[in-house]
Structure 1
């Protein structure tokens, strides 16, 4: 989980707060940043000037925004992940075979981080994207990961991120979640039946290597197309087999 800095550097914290604020929109005027941040206008301007000098912030007219340099950094980090390197083609194939939105994610800091997505012929448009972070308890890909973490780790994740309610179907009780995670381990796949988004259903399966959970894959589709069909055996089997094939690819390619 998140570790507290022994001696936090206030200047760094201010820079990070500025970056995270800039990440919430396409552009901000200085006055808008002044309203959102606990910093003086001159301090904000100094931080922006430094970030611009090093290529991390762009200024268009009177608006500031993050630059594509962050894409370069994030892309480099992602490319070091065997899960991503070997998973892209698998996710593309899964999306093509099912026609749905296929996802690849790992866990970091107690949340799911999307590494890759691929759209099938009738994939839905969602708010998720590469790099997006979500709580684990109410998404199929997240529950597939949680089911293969130790109880102590899951407890710690719940302590930090809670079990907030997103829809009427969201699991918000700790023991109910642990009971579901047991079922996921027994059947081999996880489901999200409108637990984060009304009208959306997901099927997720873990990617495990020698007992270690590396991440998970999932497909997402409107409930009327996927959920009401009772989680078709052919579809769940394809998700599970794709996850298993990905684990084998990583195992033998990385040896």
Structure 2
């Protein structure tokens, strides 16, 4: 959730609560949605009918689904970020050279959002797609960004979103996380050692422009391939190379 509005409009809050619930339920009928949200069926029906009228949801039989019109807004928002167009070809090169999955993540409202993902020949199929949101403390990408935010801002993010575990390896202690962020600043890269998904590791680096953290890039893959020298030296060097080129291109493009 973003910054609290001074005078929130209840109907707007309910509208987006319903849209979010449709996503969580992977589509639902009026009765199921009303029970899920503990709202009157008549109110849910009215909201869904209006959303369908405005083409933000579609109805298939008795079930409603989030409509593809939202994709227009997501693509527009992504295109407004210069880091996307600049990092895209570098990430494609990174994926091609490593054979793994290359990623670009930005932070908004204290949550990480994947802006771009591209796959190399050996890349594993993992959950998540462009637009997927991820907790900052549980990803290498998120830690790369947190390490370069003001400390008070990091506390604000943790206060709002907490530090829930995604796996048994997720850092859930605030002091341990801040020690990890200090290491990230010293070494320039962040590691995700099965902290968000079991069996998956990641090497990430922040992307800056004019002393401002703009996002983070990474390469990720299965633990059987991301280990030893490849995990700790070879891939970090490749990620830092992509970081350097991306920052230069943002500055001079």
Give the structure-2-normalised TM-score: 0.95
Please give the per-residue CA displacement for 1:140-184, whole angstroms capped at 9, x wherever unaligned.
111111111111111111111122223332222212111111111
Residues 12-51 of structure 1: pairs in structure 2 closer than 5 A: 12-51=12-51
- Give the Cα–Cα distance (whole angstroms) in 2 for the partners of residues 103 and 201 of structure 1: 13
Looking at structure 2, the residues matched to 228 and 126 of structure 1 have their Cα atoms a distance apart, in angstroms, of: 22
Give the number of aligned pairs. Answer: 253
Contact 2:207 2:213 in 1 (8 A): yes
Hey, what does 2:231 align to over in structure 1? 231
Q: Out of 222-231 and 41-50, give the one that drifted further.
A: 222-231
Q: For the residues of structure 2 that align with 1:2 and 1:18, how far apart are their CA atoms?
A: 17
Q: Is the 8 A contact 1:146 1:154 kept in 2?
A: yes
**SS across alignment from 1:197:** coil
Q: Which runs of at least 4 in structure 1 moved beyond 6 Å after TM superposition?
A: none
1:165 match: secondary structure: coil
Any conservation in 1 of the 2:3–2:109 contact (CA below 8 Å)?
A: no
- Which residues of 2 match residues 132-151 of structure 1 at below 5 A? 132-151=132-151
Q: In structure 2, what is the Cα distance between the partners aligned to 1:44 and 1:168?
A: 38
In the aligned structure 2, how far is the partner of 1:62 from the partner of 1:167?
Answer: 37
Which runs of 5 or more structure 2 residues have no equivalent in the other structure? none
Whole-Å separation in 1 of the counterparts to 2:29 and 2:167:
35
Deviation at 1:25, TM superposition (A): 3.8
**What's the counterpart of residue 100 of structure 2?**
100
The whole-number CA distance in structure 1 between the counterparts of 2:230 and 2:193 is 10
Q: Which residue of 1 aligns with 2:52?
A: 52
Give me the CA root mean square deviation. Answer: 1.4
SS in 2 for 1:39: coil
Structure-2 residue corresponding to 1:120: 120
Deviates more, 1:171-180 or 1:137-146: 171-180
| Maintained 8 Å contact 2:141/2:205 | yes
Q: Deviation per CA, 1:1-32: give whole Å up to 9, x if none.
A: 83211112111111111111111244211111
How far, CA to CA, are the matches of 2:138 and 2:37 in structure 1? 31
Q: For residues 189-204 of structure 1, what are the structure 2 equivalents within 5 Å?
A: 189-204=189-204
Rounded Cα–Cα distance in structure 2 between residues aligned with 1:206 and 1:67: 33
8 Å contact 1:193–1:227 — kept in the other structure? Answer: no
Shift of 1:229: 4.1
Q: Is the 8 A contact 1:201 1:221 kept in 2?
A: yes
Residue 64 of structure 1 is matched in structure 2 by 64
Displacement after TM superposition at 1:233 (Å) = 2.1
**Conserved? CA contact 2:169–2:194, under 8 Å:** yes
The 1-side partners of 2:13 and 2:40 are apart by 14
CA-to-aligned-CA distance 1:52-100 (integer Å, 9 cap, x gap): 1111111111111111100011111111110112111111111111100
Q: Secondary structure at the match of 1:24?
A: helix
Q: Indicate whether 1:241 and 2:249 are aligned.
A: no
> What TM-score, normalized to structure 1?
0.95
